[in-house]
Amino acid sequence: MDQEFREKSSRDMSENYKFFQNKKCEYFPCHKVENEEEFNCLFCYCPLYMLKDKCGGNFKYTNGFKNCSDCTIPHTKNSHEYMMSKMSVVSKIGSERE
- Which whole number is the average pLDDT over 82-95? 94
Decide: 77 and 55 in contact? Cβ < 8 Å.
Answer: no
DSSP 31-91: S--S-GGG---TTSS-TTGGGGGGS-S--EEETTEEE-TT--GGGSTTHHHHHHHHHHHHH
pLDDT single digits (tens) 27-70: 999 998 999 999 999 999 999 999 999 999 999 999 999 999 99
Q: Select the more confidently predicted residue: 27 or 5.
A: 27
Of 86, 81, 59, the closest CA to residue 71 belongs to: 59
